[in-house]
Structures are given as structure tokens and as C-alpha cells.
Structure 1
Amino acid sequence: MTRSSDEREIRDYVVDRLRRIMPNARIVHELNVAGQGTNRIDVAAITPTAIVGVEIKSKKDTLKRLEEQWAAFSKCCHFVIVAAHEKHFKPYSDRWYGTHEPPLSLLDHPLFFGASGKVKQRHIWPYPEPEPTGRLRPWNVFDPLQNTLLQPRAYNMLDMLWADELRRECERHRIDARQRRPRHDMIQDMVWLMTGKEIAHAVCRQLRARRFAEADPPVLEMADAVSVAPSGQMEMCMGVAG
């Protein structure tokens, strides 16, 4: 995919930062938010239990579609981050700030600017990364463990999977997985018969194993690695498991 140098610069920063704070995550570029859809997450970090999606806004981009993207990504990701060039920010001061208090730099968008925007700072990564000011509090800094506990919508998460991936998870959980069964029917049964935790783990497992045009190498769970290994490698895989 052809990208501008401005976008590549922010993308590289995002990937580097994700690797530092989520070292066990698989990094995937341009992840569809639905198995059959075209709306894509610029960068996703996928752990065995959670998906963090990042939308990139370079200095050549606008924020016109941000509300739509934020809503779509929030339905299927455990946490959403907007990594935006500094040109998209403007200063904000509360009425009760003292004259000695420097203004906050907030993303210039209705979702993130103003008094309500202050509590969403953990979702925003300015680029270039500003010098620490001492104004950020712990609840305004992204914590990849604490901030991924809230489960997204089960149907929307499962809708990111292809039919074969859904079928594999149905088989794993003893749900009807006949070859010609429609995706929608499988998803409906999975939502009804699986827990939220099981669904999150299932989606993460399949996305970590899927082959993408641009991503880290696939990550297979041991049981899956054994099932797909060539016969000559089966014994070696089973030996690793032991």
C-alpha cells in the first residue's frame, strides 16, 4: 500500500510505542472491522485476550470521518487510540485555571475537545510526542492491562472473522459448524452460547493466526500449531508442547 512519508512517520512511531507497552501483541496493519467490510483500522495490536486499534491522522489528513471511525472501532476493539499530528490540536483552558497554569493541548474535534475531552486523553497520542508537563494523571495514561478489561460488542468482534475462522471456533466450542452454514448463523449461535471472555479469546486467537499483507508473523497456539504442522514436523511440535 502506498503511503505518504507523513503517515509512515506516524505509523512507525505508533508501532514502536505499541511494541514497548504491549510486547506480547501481534501488530497488524489495515485490519478490517468486519469480515466482509471495507472500514479498516490503521494499526491493531492483538494480544491473546484483547484488541487495541489505532487510527492515524497525519498532518495531511482531516478529522471529518473520525466520529464515524471512532464509533465503528469502539464496537469491536477493547480500546481505541487516535494518533494525530500536532496540527490537529489546539490549546484549551478551563475557566477556573489560574494564570500560572499553561493550557492543555487537546485534539480539535468535538469528541475530544473541551471539559469532556480532558478525561479522554489516554485515547490520544499526539505526534511528535510532547515533552511531559506533569499535567497528565494516571487515569489519563493508557494502561494496556487495566484499559482493555471492558469487552466490546460480541457480534461486532466476531464479525471481523472469516467464515473458515468462525467455523474453527464453532468446532472448538461444539457449536454447529456445517460447511455451508452462513456466517450470520454461526455468529448468532456463538453470541448466545459463548461467554464474552470466550468470544474475545476466540477472535484474538484467529486474528493472531491469520495471514495479512502487512503484519507480524502469525502466532499460533500450540494446539493449532500441531494441527497445521506437516507430518514430518508433528513430533517436533508435540515435543515442544511437552
Structure 2
Amino acid sequence: MPAYRSSDEGEVREAVVARIRERRPEARIIHEINVSSYGPNRIDVLAVSPAEIIAVEIKSAKDKLDRLPKQIESMKGCAHHVIAALHDKFLIEVPANRGCAHFERDGKFYSRTTPVIRPRPHEVWVFPEARRALPEASHDFLEKWQMPAQQFQAALPAGAIDLLWRDELAWLCGSLGVAAGRRSTMPEMVAALRWHCNGSELTKGICSAIRRRECAEADPAIAA
């Protein structure tokens, strides 16, 4: 584990990666990747399948939530799905009925629920994954981590192309038959790709470029 990462964060990250590997075995997992859409941000975990990207923001017990809305907004600009993985210290107490209560106090029932996040991530995972409801409760909405439905024919958001480096944009132009020279700037290549290519071509191309990238902390690169 990198020296800058706390053991608290590492614990949540390991659980997140394990779940993604279980449900998206074909995805390449990349840690700490920058995205420039809607302002610079770093994505904690990126899972890149041949035609799908999942972005995860991790908030451990030592973190705060003040930057989370902007981080979610940024990730929604470049990924099919955004997951916020929150330590259960961030849960808030709300009145509830017996059927979904987490505890009883002074004859009244209460549940713990996730904080309001705007924009809303596609999924919120509460760490640790566990049942918190009373034994007699019929359901615990926080108990299981739900994976988003896999995308097979959905184009990435427009900002996904901002994940690519200059050399990757040049490679993508070449692989898709879009004219680009040594002096072509990144904005010029992005504009040309958007003009000449459809959503399917860009989505698969962006995913392929990221899966090929050599990264400091990631699964091995996938050239295919």
C-alpha cells in the first residue's frame, strides 16, 4: 500500500475492489487516475471494461464529505456509473418504523441512512457491508452493495475523452482512421474524433486506450 494512503482507506479500497472483481471480472482496475472534466479531480478507483467505465470515490473514517459533490459531478462527466463508498461513520440518524429500524431508543425507532449527496451517485456503498437493522426488521436497505446494471450499448459521457493523454488521443485517431499529425493539439484531435466517430467507436476506443495504459498502481495493461 502506498505510504500516502491510510490503513483506513486501504481497508475500504480492498473491499471495493473485491466486489468489482466479483461482478466485473473482465474489467481492468486502476487506482488514482486524473480526470479534467468539470475541474481537475482524481478518481480513487476506475474499473474499465471493453465498453464500460465505473468510477468509485472512497471516503474512509478519516475523510470528510465537503469535496464529495464536486467529485461526483466530475466522475459523472466521464463514466457510465459512479459509486460512492462511504464509511458508516457518515450515516445519519432518522426516525423509522419497526420494519426497517436499526435501533430503538425511548420507545421510538430509528434508522441510519446515507447523507444527501447532490448530484447523487448511481450507487452508495456503506462500509463495512453488513446488516444493521434490528432482528425483527423485514429489510435493511444498507445491507448489500448493489452493482449498477452492466452497460453493453451505452455511449460514455462526453467528458470521458478528457481521461486520455496526448499520445493516447493520437493512437485513437490512428486506430479510428481520423487524420492527425505530429503538430495536432489535443483540442484539435478531440474535436476531430467527436466529428468523425460515433458513440460506440469513441466508447470502445477510450476504454481500449485506458486498458492499454501503463499505470503506477493498476492491473497489468491489456493491449487487446
Tell me the secondary structure at the aligned position of residue 163 of structure 2: coil
Closer, same or farther in 2 for the Cα pair 1:29/1:100, shift >3 Å?
Answer: closer
Aligned residue in 2 for 1:232: none
| Cα distance in structure 2, aligned partners of 1:11 and 1:34 | 23
User: Structure 2: where are the runs of 5+ without partners?
Assistant: 102-109, 134-138
Distance 1:135 1:100, change over 3 A: closer
Using the aligned pairs only, state the percent identity: 35
Q: Summarize the Cα distance change of 1:149–1:135 in structure 2 as closer, same or farther, 3 Å threshold.
A: farther
Alignment match, 2:187: 184
Which ranges in structure 1 are unaligned for 5 or more consecutive residues?
A: 222-242
Q: Which protein has the bigger strand share?
A: 2
Q: Does 2:20 correspond to 1:22?
A: no
Cα distance in 2 for partners of 1:3, 1:101 equals 35
Aligned to 2:78: 76
- Structure 1 distance, partners of 2:52, 2:164, is 15
Q: CA deviation at 1:16?
A: 0.8
Q: Could you tell me which of 167, 171, 191 is aligned with 1:168? A: 171
Aligned ranges 1:1-242 → 2 under 5 Å: 1=2, 2-34=4-36, 38-93=40-95, 98-102=97-101, 104-111=111-118, 123-131=123-131, 134-136=139-141, 141-145=146-150, 150-154=154-158, 156-221=159-224
Structure 2 residue matching 1:206: 3-state secondary structure: helix
Cα deviations by residue, 1:169-207 (Å, 9 ceiling, x for unpaired): 111222111011000011011112111111111110010
The CA distance in 1 between the partners of 2:71 and 2:35, in whole Å, is 10
Give 4+ residue runs of structure 1 displaced > 6 Å after superposition: none
Query: What's the TM-score once normalised by structure 2's chain length?
Result: 0.83
The one-letter amino acid of 1:182's match is T
Higher helix share: 1
Letter in 2 for 1:105: R
Q: Deviations along 1:40-92, whole A, 9 cap, x unmatched?
A: 10011100001100000001100000010000000001100011100011134
Q: Distance in 2 between matches of 1:104 and 1:142?
A: 23
| Backbone CA RMSD of aligned residues | 2.5
Residues 109-156 of structure 1: per-residue CA shift (max 9 Å, x gap)? 3438xxxx7xx6x6111001122863549xx9323415x7653422x1
Note if contact 1:52-1:77 (Cα within 8 Å) is conserved in structure 2. yes
Q: What CA distance in whole angstroms lies between the structure 1 residues aligned with 2:111 and 2:26?
A: 33
For 1:20, the aligned partner's letter is E
State how far apart, in whole Å, the 2-side matches of 1:104 and 1:135 are: 9
**Alpha carbons 1:63, 1:109 under 8 Å: kept:** no
Write the deviation string for residues 19-52 of structure 1: whole angstroms up to 9, x where unpaired: 11111100000011139x8511001110000110
Normalising by structure 1, report the TM-score: 0.77
Taking the aligned partners of 2:52 and 2:5, their CA distance within structure 1 comes to 27
Counterpart residue number, 1:229? none
**When the two structures are aligned, how many residues end up with a matched partner?**
206
Q: Give how far 1:105 is off.
A: 3.3
Contact 1:22–1:144 (Cα < 8 Å) also in 2: no
What is the alpha-carbon distance in structure 1 between the residues aligned to residue 52 and residue 132 of structure 2? 28
Task: Answer whether contact 2:153 2:200 (CA < 8 A) is retained.
Answer: no
Whether the 8 Å contact between 2:154 and 2:200 is mirrored in structure 1 is: no
